Amino acid sequence: MPFAPASSPAPNRSTVRHRVPFYETDAMAVVHHSNYVRYLELARLAWMDEHDRPYREYVAEGLHFTTTAMSLRFLRPAQFDDTVEITTWLDWVRRVTLRMSYEIRRGQELLATAETEHAMVDLQGRPRRIPVERRAGLVRLAGMGDGSAHGRGATGLDSPGDGSLDSSEAPAVEAKGVSRCATVESPEGR
């Protein structure tokens, strides 16, 4: 596996180190843009393993975090044989959704920044509230305090219940984990 954990630069962040193989590059001799989405996913899963719980435990409970939005800004290209570090952290948590932020670097050089938003869904693709105990821990990891304050996307801790939502609470999520949108920006605005 080409991805390996690296030392985290700060609390509540995880960093994955990756040496770029030739097959990830394109005809212009740079990493093809589609690979950056894979890098984000691998870094997010490493973050969950390190700070929350392994994603497979959510899956065992019939829950998934589907990607609902993505923003990726390319600043400099990565190339064959570069060692890149993908650092991620939890930016905010709501009842059903959360946002992860990312930096991709080659040494000290910032290559790209990104954000992904995810909604918890059940096996039928229906939005579900993040379980209260999980959400409380995630709120702390996001630096949002104990969950009682409404900062950076917080909506307070969930009320008791089965975790189902009425239509007024459900985020815009398409069934079966299909992403709803993606925004890609470059430094030139193209």
Q: What is the largest CA-CA distance in the chain?
A: 54
Question: Which of these, 11, 18, 177, lies nearest to 85 by C-alpha position?
Answer: 18
Asked if 26 is an active-site residue, the reply is yes
Whole-number Cα distances in Å, 118 to 10, 11, 36, 76: 23, 22, 17, 26
| b/e code 23-56 from CB counts within 10 Å (16+ = b) | ebbeeeebbeeebbbebbebbbbbbbebbbeeee
- Show the tokens assigned to 133: 């105990």
124 vs 105: CA distance, rounded Å: 37
Annotated active-site residue in 26, 81, 91, 146 = 26
For residue 171, what are the contacts with CB-CB under 8 A and spacing of at least 6? 68, 96, 97, 119, 127
Q: Decide: 63 and 124 in contact? Cβ < 8 Å.
A: no
As annotated, the active-site residues are 26
